[in-house]
């Protein structure tokens, strides 16, 4: 399964070859030489089919491709699963090698991620910023990464743990001091891990629960971020000291983490108030356990006797003052962990209330650690203080006693339903049918009324009762464990006020930040007006304490209007909301709901941040990381440090060196591009009567529901059509067949129209001088590189009725035209010529992804050809599911 080595293979290719060779050995050992040779023949034919050019008309299959198809068609049923597993495993191993290469010391220049932070500090000094100005802004960095559990992670946690160990082995092999014997032992360990993975079932036996998803997030913290965060802060601190002579303040934490796992109930009936309570307790348990692990070596290290008077006053005549203080903290952490265990064992038990010795306030954790740190420095032992103790102290500031704060998210219609049932029960009418100003008047009056509104004997519907129970969880847990309340599909100020009233009526005694999430094209266009009106209300100005968070939805806006129109609507909304908050003298935090794929706001984070409207970042960034992107960006400590450094450098740069305000001419062109692209996009997706049948026939959208990916249903409404499909499976389905339609549909026609209308010079100026436009076209280019019209046509030939195929031909022509117009604008002959590393990575995967695509199309045809009600063979379904996971690995993202 290895590539033929080149004369001077890169370290990436060396590792890919080694992992592929070891996988081949495992396959040969388990399935025999004949089967291994068949896998090699498939791989060689797939590679050869990629190396030759298609005929000019693109209609004739190459001889190698036909030979590949003949071989795949001839596979007996009992070989389907091992064949698809072989290629799926290779793609996962390739991903590990590529991830490691980004942080490898042997990383080639074209692959290595530059030290953006160092380069930025140089640039800032050259621009005339003083050392003090730079240090102050760096100390004020406020980056919050929100981990979410959307159903995109197709890899089992069991396999992820094995991949993590393979990564560590690659790191060990770079140690030049290893003897040949030691290297052999490491390679043997890799062989063991690959063998374990080969003999492990790929999928969970059932869908994960929301609690399982939360545990996956905790595992990322335990195995990666726990070590990565202090390394990241040290790196920032070292860069600052080297360039400015200033250190970070001891309590400066440039990054925090929050989570939606166990708190995001939008469209997920399995996230209940009981689940949220359990996840919060698990989070506290994990925090206590991790800090106890930190304290064990710390207590041994801090054996010195010299201490400050302040510390001595606390511990008395102890010969080991640091031991005494930290042992007391250790006992309290043990009490805290035991309290969590009791609560988890007996949910709802009154005895689970905190007892004496349980730590609840972060200051109780931070104070003794900081006292030890300051005492050591006061005694001239700063070299000790700045070691593991400082790392633990920084973890305390970042993670605290709750490990990771939880957001609550719910759809606005659920709050409307709750208030509608309430007003009808009270004889006040039906809130749902009131006009917006009438709603606001009622809500503001009740928010300022001290008497309770909820009747004691009120029996609401189960859905409304769950909303009430969730608000009561917020009241019980408080601001220490919870972050903000996100309202999806927010449209009007009343959506925010409704949540405030429900929280008040359920006993919440703190002003929980309420975050409207604007998702559709119309809602994005109306976002600034909504925020302006909200901030004009005196009651709300008092409630928000001079700060407002606004969430921008990337997924649903792109699904609603197409990628280009959505991107411009997002930009305009951020720009307008920034202006409204500045006018009102309110501190704005923009919360970016980005997904893994380009079509859901994904893509290179550094470029994405730098392309935001000027003034919108202002040293603050809040962003979601979803599904498998959590593993890709934060799954390994070295990679996590690099990802966090990219976030930090981009946030600081966007603050101090913001992009230019777009010229009116650029805005006019973007307005027209947006109008043209949305017309084409909706003309196909909404208005073409055969689109939905074609989509359902050509993609594995229906079959995706069989994969136990995530706890949330794939559709908001079980019986709805494409309009009810969530953005993730919508993107996932098109990615599987390599057409990637949601990202590019409408873009080609829009760009071509602009060129035809004499705007080429303006477009070229925008590509050069406007980071927003440049980043969009580069992301579009990356998407085009991953598309494959011929593979998409193969799916069509296998799966789509003859009367619908005209639509596929039309879509492929549109894709071809879009690629041509982009290449013409960039004055290049090949896609991604300026990003050779990404181009090579995609090319490296194609010979292994292509057979999975061909097999998936055939397997879909076989499964669908069974008569309704007839049982599909287990091996057939299993092979189909593995192709879905393997193609996802080959594409490096799913939804």
State the catalytic residues.
150, 559
Q: How far apart are CA 306 and CA 698, in angstroms?
A: 73
DSSP string for residues in 58-116: S-SPPHHHHHHHHHHHT--HHHHHHHHHHHHHHHHHHHHHHHHHHH-TT--TTTSPP-H
Q: Which two tokens stand for residue 279?
A: 């996840």
Query: What CA–CA distances, in Å, run from 813 to 119, 739, 806, 816?
Result: 43, 12, 11, 5
- Calculate ∠ Cα 62-68-71, nearest 5°: 145
Phi first, then psi, for residue 815 (nearest 5°) are: -65, -45
3-state helix, strand, coil in the chain (%, to 5): 65, 5, 30
| Rg, Å, the chain Cα set | 28
Task: Give the whole-angstrom CA distance, residue 359 versus residue 331.
Answer: 10
DSSP state, residue 597: S
* Spatial contact of 634 and 646, defined as CB atoms under 8 Å apart: no
Distances (CA, A) of 782 to 147, 830, 841: 25, 12, 11
Residue 320: CB atoms within 10 Å: 16
Phi, psi angles (nearest 5°) of residue 712: -90, 140
Q: Which residues pair with 142 in a beta bridge?
A: 620
**Measured between alpha carbons, how far is 266 from 382 in angstroms, rounded to an integer?**
49
| Distance, CA of 79 to chain centre | 35
Of the candidates 253, 274, 437, the one whose C-alpha atom is nearest the C-alpha of residue 348 is 274
- State how far the Cα of 6 lies from the Cα of 500, in Å rounded to an integer: 64
| Token digits of residue 3 | 């590539």
Q: How many CB atoms lie within 10 A of CB 540?
A: 20
* 690 burial via Cβ count (<10 Å: 0-12, 13-18, 19+): middle
Among 652, 675, 475, CA closest to 568: 675
- For residue 714, give both structure tokens: 């794939």
- Cα within 13 Å of Cα(845), Cβ side: 28
- Please state, in angstroms and as integers, the Cα–Cα distance from residue 365 to each residue in 65, 212, 218, 377, 399, following that order: 63, 28, 20, 19, 11
What is the crossing angle of helices 727-736 and 874-891, to 10°?
100
Q: What is the DSSP string of 143-174?
A: EEEEEE--TT--S-HHHHHHHHHHHHHHHHHT
Name the token pair of 200.
Answer: 């492990």
For residue 590, give the H/E element and its range: strand 587-593
Q: Are 490 and 459 in contact (CB under 8 A)?
A: no
Cα 78 to Cα 82, 177, 878, 887: the distances in Å are: 8, 46, 11, 21
Task: Say how far apart CA 781 and CA 804 lie, in whole Å.
Answer: 28
Residue 274 tokens read as: 């009981």
Q: d(Cα 858, Cα 880) in Å, to the nearest integer?
A: 9
């Amino acid at each position: 399964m290895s590539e033929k080595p080149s004369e001077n293979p890169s370290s990436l290719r060396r590792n890919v070859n080694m992992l592929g060779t070891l996988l081949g050995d495992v396959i040969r050992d388990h399935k025999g030489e004949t089967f291994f040779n068949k896998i090699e023949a498939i791989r060689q034919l797939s590679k050869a089919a990629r190396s030759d050019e298609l005929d000019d008309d693109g209609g004739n299959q190459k001889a190698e491709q036909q030979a590949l198809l003949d071989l795949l068609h001839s596979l007996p049923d009992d070989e389907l699963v091992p064949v698809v597993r072989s290629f799926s495993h290779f793609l996962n191993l390739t991903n590990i090698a590529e991830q490691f290469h980004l942080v490898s010391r042997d990383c080639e220049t074209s692959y290595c991620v530059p030290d953006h932070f160092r380069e930025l500090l140089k640039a800032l000094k050259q621009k005339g910023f003083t050392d003090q100005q730079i240090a102050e802004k760096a100390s004020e960095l406020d980056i919050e990464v929100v981990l979410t559990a959307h159903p995109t992670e197709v890899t089992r946690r069991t396999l992820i743990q094995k991949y993590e160990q393979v990564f560590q082995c690659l790191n060990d092999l770079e140690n030049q001091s290893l003897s040949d014997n030691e290297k052999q032992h490491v390679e043997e360990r890799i062989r063991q891990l690959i063998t374990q993975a080969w003999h492990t079932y790929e999928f969970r036996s059932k869908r994960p629960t929301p609690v399982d998803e939360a545990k996956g997030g905790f595992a990322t913290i335990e195995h990666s971020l726990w070590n990565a965060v202090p390394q990241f802060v040290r790196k920032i601190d070292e860069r600052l000291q080297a360039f400015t002579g200033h250190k970070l303040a001891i309590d400066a934490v440039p990054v925090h983490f929050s989570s939606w796992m166990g708190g995001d109930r939008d469209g997920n009936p399995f996230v209940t108030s009981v689940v949220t309570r359990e996840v919060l307790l698990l989070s506290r348990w994990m925090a206590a356990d991790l800090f106890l692990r930190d304290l064990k070596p710390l207590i041994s290290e801090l054996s010195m006797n010299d201490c400050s008077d302040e510390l001595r006053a606390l511990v008395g005549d102890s010969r080991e003052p640091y031991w005494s203080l930290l042992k007391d903290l250790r006992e309290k952490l043990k009490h805290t962990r035991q309290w969590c265990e009791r609560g988890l064992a007996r949910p709802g038990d009154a005895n689970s209330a905190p007892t004496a010795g349980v730590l609840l306030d972060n200051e109780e954790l931070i104070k003794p650690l900081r006292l030890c740190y300051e005492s050591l420095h006061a005694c001239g032992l700063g070299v000790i203080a700045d070691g593991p103790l400082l790392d633990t102290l920084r973890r305390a500031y970042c993670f605290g006693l709750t490990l990771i704060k939880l957001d609550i998210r719910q759809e606005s219609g659920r709050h409307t339903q709750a208030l509608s049932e309430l007003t009808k029960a009270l004889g006040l009418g039906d809130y749902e049918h009131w006009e917006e100003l009438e709603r606001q008047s009622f809500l503001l009056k009740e928010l300022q009324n001290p008497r309770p509104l909820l009747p004691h004997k009120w029996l609401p519907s189960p859905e409304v009762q769950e909303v009430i129970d969730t608000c009561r969880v917020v009241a019980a847990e408080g601001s220490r464990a919870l972050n903000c309340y996100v309202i999806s599909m927010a449209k009007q100020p009343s959506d925010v006020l409704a949540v405030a009233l429900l929280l008040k009526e359920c006993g919440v005694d703190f002003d929980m930040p309420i975050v409207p999430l604007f998702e559709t094209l119309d809602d994005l266009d109306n976002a600034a007006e909504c925020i302006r009106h909200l901030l004009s209300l005196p009651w709300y100005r008092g409630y928000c304490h001079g700060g407002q968070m606004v969430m921008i939805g990337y997924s649903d806006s792109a699904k609603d209007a197409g990628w280009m129109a959505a991107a411009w609507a997002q930009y305009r909304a951020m720009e307008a909301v920034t202006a409204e908050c500045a006018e009102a003298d309110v501190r704005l935090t923009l919360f970016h709901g980005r997904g893994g794929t380009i079509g859901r706001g994904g893509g290179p984070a550094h470029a994405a941040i730098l392309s935001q409207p000027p003034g919108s970042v202002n040293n603050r960034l809040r962003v979601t990381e979803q599904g498998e992107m959590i593993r890709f960006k934060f799954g390994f400590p070295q990679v996590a440090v690099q990802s966090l450094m990219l976030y930090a450098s981009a946030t600081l740069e966007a603050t101090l060196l913001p992009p230019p305000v777009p010229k009116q001419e650029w805005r006019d062109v973007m307005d027209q591009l947006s109008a043209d692209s949305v017309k084409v996009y909706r003309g196909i997706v909404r208005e073409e009567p055969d689109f939905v049948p074609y989509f359902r026939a050509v993609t594995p959208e229906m079959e995706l529901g069989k994969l136990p990916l995530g706890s949330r249903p794939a559709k908001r409404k079980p019986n709805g059509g494409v309009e009810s499909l969530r953005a993730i499976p919508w993107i996932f389905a098109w990615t599987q067949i390599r057409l990637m339609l949601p990202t590019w549909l409408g873009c080609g026609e829009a760009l071509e129209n602009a060129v035809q209308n004499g705007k080429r010079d303006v477009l070229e100026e925008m590509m050069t001088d406007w980071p927003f436009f440049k980043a969009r076209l580069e992301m579009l280019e990356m998407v085009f590189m991953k598309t494959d019209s011929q593979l998409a046509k193969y799916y069509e030939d296998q799966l789509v009725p003859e009367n619908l195929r005209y639509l596929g031909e039309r879509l492929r022509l549109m894709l071809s035209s879009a690629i041509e117009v982009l290449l013409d604008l960039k004055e290049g002959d090949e896609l991604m010529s300026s990003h050779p590393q990404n181009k090579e990575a995609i090319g490296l995967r194609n010979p292994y992804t292509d057979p999975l695509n061909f097999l998936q199309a055939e397997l879909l045809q076989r499964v669908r050809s069974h008569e309704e009600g007839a049982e599909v063979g287990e091996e057939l379904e299993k092979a189909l599911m593995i192709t879905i996971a393997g193609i996802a690995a080959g594409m490096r993202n799913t939804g």
